[in-house]
Amino acid sequence: MNGNRKRKQGRGLLMTAGSVWAAWTALASHAQAADAGGAPQGQPPAAQVQAGVTAGMTANLFRLHAAVNVDSAVEKWGNDDVKRKWRADVLPLFEDASRFELHDFFSGAVVWVGGVKGTHAVVAFYSPWVDGALVAALDGADEHKPVLTDFAFVSGETLRGADVPEPEEALALYALKEPLMVAVARSYAPSSAAFAALYPPQGDPVLVPPALKARLDSPQGELALLKARMLARLRMFKAYLDPANRGWLVQSGVLMHALKSGTREQLLAALSEKQPAALVETFCQLDPRVRSEYAPLYFAKAAEGVVVGFVNPSAPRWLVEATFQGAAPAPRAARIELMDLDLSGKVLALWGKEAAK
């Protein structure tokens, strides 16, 4: 990464309200109008809005379970067809020792909700860290035991209708050449837009709509690219824990503690003197529950120092990028940026303007 990249005070982007199923919660404000005799033109009725929010909450419960024990999650939340399909299409690529790759996938995945009709919905678990999604059909007919009835892994390239990348491009996130938040936004923003177009809130809850089916590879083909990125992440974690990087590990641990529980003053005391105070004030406005579980989800060597990405698995849309400057680990070497993944488009717009200067 270019060590002299430009930074501006207040570039951390914070949305004070929202959720992992933002497209549906944005519609919830129209529920009263629907109850009064009809939703505004173009908006779904209140019952459908509530069903969308419930689908998002249910999907997130599955995601949190899968981030800890994916086998147990599929056993609990999947119907018999899903369990058979999972054993046939997924497990052959993930032996017991590599289940961690799937846990990592779900830990960093954001939930999106597509079309909802009655008790049926389509949801997606999209991880910008492997640029891929698990799209799933959800049936909530039994509100006490909603189930996943089908699923499909989809690479980000397939979701967006992009060409299959060259190996270097496919693993670009792990050979960082620009700010982490910009690199993540490059895959998140167009993937989110593509999902919204393929799975509109008022559309039918079809697992693989025709436009996606036309470019979808076999289950093994879609998973192959995601598996390559998962393996790259394993190498990344190995580097993070390498004794040669112990100093950086220690310094990132100090910062992680400050992110979790520090006051504004304590956090500023752990950061570089060049850290914009406004960004720290914005970060401290996050719900304490969001702050309390931040952990490293990304590590890369930079031209001078390292970059560490911190994410809370319970709220993965809030990314903290920490850049530790210096040839050797030292206290107060880090500066942080905060990004709401749902504002990735704005990040790219801001970066484009800045890069043009």
- Which helix H or strand E contains 124, and what residues bound it? strand 120-127
pLDDT(307) > 80: yes
Confidence of residue 32 (pLDDT cuts 50, 70, 90): very low
What does the DSSP assignment read for 239-275? HHTSGGGHHHHHHHHHHHHHHHH--HHHHHHHS-TTS
pLDDT of residue 14: 33
pLDDT of residue 352: 84
pLDDT of residue 273: 95
pLDDT(141) > 50: yes
270 phi-psi bin (left φ>0, alpha ψ -120 to 50, beta other): alpha
Share of the chain above pLDDT 70, in %: 86
Helix (H, G, I), strand (E, B) or coil at 117: strand
Q: What is the pLDDT of residues 129-139, one digit of tens each?
A: 999 999 999 99
pLDDT(16) > 50: no
pLDDT of residue 29: 44
- Domains in the chain, please, with CATH? 22-221 (no CATH), 243-355 (3.10.450)
Helix (H, G, I), strand (E, B) or coil at 176: coil
Half-sphere exposure in the Cβ direction for 164 (13 Å, CA): 11
Q: What is the pLDDT of residues 168-185, one digit of tens each?
A: 888 989 888 899 999 999
- Cα(207)–Cα(122) distance, rounded to whole angstroms? 6
Bigger pLDDT: 90 or 303? 90
Q: What is the pLDDT of residues 197-234, one digit of tens each?
A: 999 988 999 999 999 999 999 999 999 999 999 999 99
Q: What is the pLDDT of residues 36-82, one digit of tens each?
A: 444 445 555 677 788 888 999 999 999 999 999 999 999 999 999 99
pLDDT of residue 357: 55
pLDDT(241) > 60: yes
Bigger pLDDT: 133 or 34? 133
- Cα(270)–Cα(277) distance, rounded to whole angstroms? 12
Question: What distances in angstroms separate CA 17 from CA 11, 20, 342, one per listed residue?
Answer: 18, 11, 11
pLDDT(268) > 90: yes
**Considering only CA atoms, which of 308, 180, 299, 313 is closest in space to residue 256?**
308
Could you tell me how far CA 169 lies from the centroid of its own chain?
Answer: 20
Q: How many CB atoms lie within 10 A of CB 232?
A: 16
What does the DSSP assignment read for 93-114? GS-GGGHHHHHHHHHTPEEEEE
pLDDT of residue 22: 52
pLDDT(327) > 50: yes
Which pTM does this prediction carry? 0.88
Q: Find the mean pLDDT for residues 282-309.
A: 92
- Cα(205)–Cα(212) distance, rounded to whole angstroms? 14
**Considering only CA atoms, which of 182, 174, 293 is closest in space to residue 239?**
174
pLDDT(158) > 50: yes
pLDDT(284) > 70: yes
